[in-house]
Amino acid sequence: MASAAKTRRLCRGTAVDRLSNLPGNVIDLILEPLPVRDIARMSIFSKRWRDVLVLHPHLVFDDLFFEPLLSKKDSEKDTQAQVSEISRIISNILLVHTGPISTFHLFIPQDLPLHRCVDTDFWIRNISNRVQKLKLLNKPFTMYKIPLYLFSCLKLTHLHLTNCILNPPLRFRGFCNLLSVELEDVVIRADMSFGTQLEKLELTVCTGIKHLGCQFTYKNNLTRLIITDCGEFDFEWFECIQKVEFLAVRGVLNSRNELINWNKLFANFPRINTLGIDGFFLESVEPGAAVLERPITTLEKYLVFVRFDEMVHVQHNFCLIKSFPNLRHLYIVQDCEVSSSDEADLLDFMAFSADMILEKLEIVEIRGVVGSRAELQLIKLLLACTPRLRRIELEKDITVDAKEELRISRELLQIPRASTSSQIIWN
């Protein structure tokens, strides 16, 4: 017995350290989804893992990181103590970190004003020469003014900012390697460009986008452009995005206050695959220019926010749809209910469009359905002109009660379909 026990002890002493023998890429995959504090704890598992935090490429200080650190506070003094303590923890991690940083994600809670702390500027300075993906989500009401160190991030490839102020230095000509930019509630205070390598640009509720004129030149490589609720935008900039494949514009007015010639506009998008527009866009068309001279054969997905009580919206919308012969996915969001005074004209137009055939359309989604006659005629038209339709998904408006829902369901069952395999999904 004693000999067997001794043998087991010797075996344990010479056992292979399986953690130490794991390949580096496997260790990165294990650590990537873990919070930073858990990675620090794991450094005691084996000798090879002692420096894992020092070289870990993903530094994520998100809401999961802050949750255990935030305690119930009873005074402003408690808040300041928490800010100091959390700032010290993040600063210490960055001070010992010596390797490249693939991802730096900083979430600033609404009730923890870290953006007022000078350490926040220090953190950006610390990572400026080695970070690739920077995500800064500032939740407090006060905007965070991005320090000038950000504009010297030569290795930066992805940038995501929320509730911040961008004030680039004079003669800033853009980033060298930046591929993706997402800005939400961001104020741009001076002329700037994100660089000619940029492929993805998303602007949501941003002000000062007039300063981005330097971005929209014929040298740009944008393939994805989303602009939502950003006030005025110079529509002439669309002439410079000939590589765009995904374009979505909503809540944006033409800063030049001019009508759009759709034939000229779509001639600039030879690669477009997905298009999303709203009523402002539909209303800004030159009279008589709603029908495209050439079909857009590359477009497969179309998202539109339309008002059924606006005849111009509906007419221009159908003119566009008829110009997309390879359309596969149609997504319609209704902004408001159709008024009874406009229904007659709308129904006449839909009868005029009854000869429309959408050979490739497979999926239709309509949101905000209230069960008006105009909506049912639209659904009837789509079901009649789509021989390959697989399903049409309808989502009722929150104002629809149980009685109206039953009436709509019965009427939907009576609508004939061009494709016997098509389904109507009523939610």
**Lowest-confidence segment of 72-81, 99-108, 374-383 by average pLDDT:** 72-81
User: Is pLDDT above 80 for 324?
Assistant: yes
User: Is pLDDT above 80 for 33?
Assistant: no
Q: What is the mean pLDDT of residues 297-302?
A: 95
Domain spans of the chain, in order of start = 21-158
Whole-number pLDDT of residue 290: 65
pLDDT digits 0-9 by tens, 166-211: 999 988 888 989 999 999 999 999 999 999 999 999 999 999 999 9
**Lowest-confidence segment of 2-6, 60-64, 100-104 by average pLDDT:** 2-6
Whole-number pLDDT of residue 360: 92
Measure CA 349 to chain center: 35
Cα-Cα end-to-end distance for the chain? 71
pLDDT digits 0-9 by tens, 235-288: 889 989 999 999 999 988 888 878 888 888 888 999 999 999 988 888 887 766
Q: Residue 90: which pLDDT band, with cuts at 50, 70 and 90?
A: confident
% of the chain beyond a pLDDT of 90? 30
Query: C-alpha angle 384/387/389, rounded to 5°?
Result: 90
Query: Count of CB atoms within 10 A of residue 333's CB?
Result: 16
User: Is pLDDT above 60 for 7?
Assistant: no
User: Is pLDDT above 90 for 313?
Assistant: no
Whole-number pLDDT of residue 163: 95
- More confidently predicted of 306 and 209: 209
Q: Contact, 53 vs 39, CB < 8 A?
A: yes
One-character DSSP codes across 291-344: S-SS--TT--EEEEEE-TT-HHHHHHHHHHHTT-TT--EEEEEE-SPPPHHHHH
User: Is pLDDT above 70 for 307?
Assistant: yes
Q: Contact, 254 vs 234, CB < 8 A?
A: yes
One-character DSSP codes across 196-264: TT--EEEEES-B-GGGGTTTSSTT---SEEEEEEEEEE-GGGGGG-TT-SEEEEEEEEETT---B-HHH
pLDDT digits 0-9 by tens, 208-249: 999 999 899 888 899 999 999 998 888 889 989 999 999 999
Q: What is the mean pLDDT of residues 411-416?
A: 79
Q: What is the mean pLDDT of residues 355-369?
A: 87
**Lowest-confidence segment of 132-146, 299-313, 405-419 by average pLDDT:** 405-419
- Confirm whether pTM is higher than 0.85: no
Please tell me the number of Cα atoms within 13 Å of 115 on its side-chain side. 22
Whole-number pLDDT of residue 341: 43
Whole-number pLDDT of residue 10: 45
Query: C-alpha angle 40/45/48, rounded to 5°?
Result: 90
User: Is pLDDT above 60 for 343?
Assistant: no
User: Is pLDDT above 50 for 340?
Assistant: no
Whole-number pLDDT of residue 108: 87
Q: What is the mean pLDDT of residues 149-163?
A: 93
Mean pLDDT of the chain: 81
User: Is pLDDT above 80 for 368?
Assistant: yes
- More confidently predicted of 170 and 303: 303
% of the chain beyond a pLDDT of 70? 77
**Lowest-confidence segment of 116-120, 224-228, 319-323, 420-424 by average pLDDT:** 116-120
